[in-house]
Structures are given as structure tokens and as C-alpha cells.
């Protein structure tokens, strides 16, 4: 009986009625090692032995929820069947429950990871696998932003821009109607990239501008770290479009803002549901650094954190003043 035809229970019923468990053991052997033998042992009258065998088999599996669920089903369904004509019906019902349990355990066993440390997750950001995209950080957009304090917004997006500069992460800047309505990109951001001209657009969705999309493609990166004003319009439309174009999108929530807190929050939820990953600007900086032993960027990272990292930056300054300039996470023990 084929594995993918397991729902055809007529053959199973016939095996049960005829007591021909040898065939059933062969049919079920492909689902999980010794599954057919275990069920056959139980049906033949060795119920105690079978329960012990199943328990041992389940203990070897890695899926705790499924293991507990299966054990509970064994205990509940292994009660002594009623005497008389209901015995066969009860036995058949119990067999199907065991079969279902075997399927669950087989799937859990097949999908269990090796559990060995394979190194850093490929989901993590590195300076070599990501690009930064800053969208519409302009005065007119900031005026109506209410989900985040204005000064905090400027501080955070500037810190994010400087973080990309430290690690030479490819960066795309874009604005909407800069000369006719919204004004230039924040001066603190432009000063980080003095030679990088923002791509000005008319479309609210940056992904509908060919020049912008071409610039993103030229970075050669599939992980995009994106921040924008407003969250619910310019970030959401671009992020969703990038996701559907095959990119991995990391949305910097504290370097973006909406016209209300609810608008910002709902947009974040919408993007996360579509597959975007929410991050914060300081998280991005430290994820790019990852190891304090990377001395080539150590001082620059601390400089950005001291200037834009709030209390964390104050803590860095305190450690240096109290313990000396040699103090640092990357110092040898």
C-alpha cells in the first residue's frame, strides 16, 4: 500500500479483520522505523509491550509537542474495549488513531534539524550582503510625522546613514518632489554622502520609478535595509513591491515615521505579515559590526554610537573616562 494512498482505509480494515499483520507491517514500515511492528504487536495482544515500544520510539523524536500529544492519545485510546459486538469497532478506531499518531511522528522526525551549530544565520545582515535605502526623509514629510519625535527621527536616520558609511554599505537616496513641494533630503543625511545625489521622483511608491529600481539593482544586494517617511505610504509601498520582486526587506522602524502612531503601527504589521523584518537603526549598526575584534571598524562604530546612541553612547563615554581609552569590548583579556 503506497504511502501517499494511506487514506484508502479499506485495505487497512481488511488486514485488521483478517489478522494479516505481516502485510500491514510492510505497508507501514516506510512511514517510521518499526511503526508497523509496533502496531502489529499491540493488535496481537502485547499491548503493554507495544505501549513501551511506542513510548521509547517517541522519546527518540525531537518534537516535544507532538510527542506529548501522541502519548496522551495512546493513554486515552488504550483503554480496555467494551465486551461484545463493539470490540471490533473499538479496535479499528484505535488502530486508525495509532496510524494517525505514526504519521505525525514521522513528519516530526523528518523535519527535525540536525541541531548542530552551523555558524551565523544567513538571515543576519552583513556589510557584504545588504544595501541601505532611504526614502523621502524631507522637511515636508517630517512636518506631519507624529509617530516619533522629530529630533529623534533626525538623529536615528542620521545614525543609520553613518552606520552604512562606516561599513561601505551601498546606499540609495531618494526624494519625492524635492524642488516643488517636499524640500531637500535632511542635511545631516546628505552630509554623510556628499557625492550621492538623491533620485527625485513624482511617484509615492519609489518602486514605480525606473531610475530608483535601477539604482537598487546596481547595488547587487538582495537584502535591503529600508527606512522612509511616511511609514504607511512610501515605506509600505516600496517594501511590499521589493518583497514581491524577490528581495529580502529589513524595515528600520525607528528611522521611519507615520502621520499617527496607529498609521505607523498598522503599516509595520502589514509589511511584517508580507515577510518584511522589523529592525532598529542601532541594531543594524551592531549587526554589521557583529564582533568587537573587528578593529578596522571598531573606533568608527563607537563614534557613531556615542553621537547618536543615546544612553548607550553615554555609557561608552563613561567607560572610556573611568577605565581609560584602552577600555572596550574587543580588548584582550
Catalytic machinery residues = 234
Residue 288 CA to residue 282 CA, distance in Å, equals 10
Cell numbers found for residue 90: 473499538
Q: By C-alpha distance, which of 274, 257, 276, 255 is closest to 265? A: 257
Residue 137 CA to residue 156 CA, distance in Å, equals 11
Output DSSP code: residue 208: G
| Residue 203 neighbours by CB under 8 Å, 6+ apart | 176, 209
Altogether, the residues listed in the chain come to a count of 333
Burial of 280 (0-12, 13-18, 19+ CB in 10 A): middle
Q: Which pairs from 321-330 meet CB under 8 Å and 24+ separation?
A: 328/292, 328/298, 328/302, 329/292, 330/291, 330/292, 330/293, 330/294, 330/295, 330/298
Per-residue HEC secondary structure of 236-266 comes to: HHHHHHHHHCCCEEEEEHHHCECCCHHHHHH
Give Dmax (Cα) for the chain: 90
Residue 60 CA to residue 67 CA, distance in Å, equals 9
What strand order describes the sheet that includes 277-279?
199-201, 171-176, 130-135, 223-228, 248-252, 277-279
Cell numbers found for residue 276: 518584511
Output DSSP code: residue 120: S
Interior angle at CA 104, CA 99 and CA 109, nearest 5: 120
Amino acid at each position: 500500500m503506497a504511502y501517499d494512498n494511506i487514506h484508502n482505509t479499506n485495505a487497512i480494515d481488511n488486514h485488521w479483520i483478517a489478522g494479516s499483520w505481516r502485510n500491514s507491517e510492510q505497508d507501514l514500515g516506510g512511514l517510521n522505523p518499526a511503526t508497523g511492528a509496533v502496531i502489529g504487536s499491540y493488535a496481537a495482544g502485547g499491548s503493554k509491550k507495544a505501549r513501551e515500544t511506542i513510548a521509547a520510539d517517541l522519546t527518540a523524536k525531537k518534537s516535544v509537542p507532538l510527542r506529548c500529544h501522541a502519548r496522551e492519545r495512546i493513554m486515552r485510546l488504550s483503554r480496555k474495549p467494551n465486551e461484545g459486538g463493539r470490540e471490533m469497532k473499538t479496535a479499528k478506531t484505535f488502530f486508525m488513531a495509532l496510524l494517525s499518531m505514526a504519521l505525525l511522528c514521522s513528519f516530526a522526525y523528518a523535519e527535525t534539524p540536525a541541531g548542530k551549530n552551523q555558524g551565523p544565520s544567513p538571515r543576519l545582515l552583513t556589510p557584504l550582503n545588504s544595501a541601505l535605502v532611504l526614502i523621502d526623509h524631507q522637511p515636508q514629510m517630517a512636518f506631519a510625522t507624529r509617530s516619533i519625535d522629530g529630533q529623534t527621527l533626525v538623529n536615528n536616520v542620521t545614525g543609520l546613514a553613518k552606520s552604512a558609511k562606516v561599513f561601505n554599505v551601498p546606499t540609495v537616496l531618494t526624494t519625492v518632489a524635492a524642488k516643488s513641494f517636499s524640500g531637500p533630503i535632511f542635511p545631516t543625511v546628505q552630509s554623510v554622502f556628499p557625492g550621492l545625489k538623491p533620485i527625485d521622483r513624482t511617484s509615492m511608491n519609489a518602486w514605480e520609478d525606473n531610475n530608483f529600481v535601477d539604482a537598487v539593482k546596481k547595488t547587487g544586494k538582495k537584502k535591503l535595509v529600508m527606512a522612509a517617511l511616511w511609514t504607511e505610504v512610501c515605506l509600505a509601498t516600496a517594501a511590499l513591491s521589493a518583497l514581491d520582486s524577490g528581495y529580502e526587506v529589513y524595515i528600520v522602524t525607528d528611522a521611519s515615521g507615520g502621520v499617527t502612531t496607529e498609521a505607523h503601527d498598522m503599516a509595520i504589521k502589514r509589511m511584517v505579515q508580507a515577510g518584511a523584518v522589523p529592525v532598529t537603526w542601532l541594531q543594524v549598526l551592531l549587526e554589521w559590526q557583529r564582533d568587537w575584534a573587528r578593529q578596522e571598524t571598531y573606533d568608527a562604530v563607537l563614534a557613531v554610537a556615542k553621537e547618536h546612541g543615546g544612553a548607550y553612547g553615554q555609557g561608552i563615554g563613561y567607560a572610556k573616562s573611568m577605565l581609560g581609552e584602552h577600555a572596550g569590548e574587543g580588548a584582550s583579556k
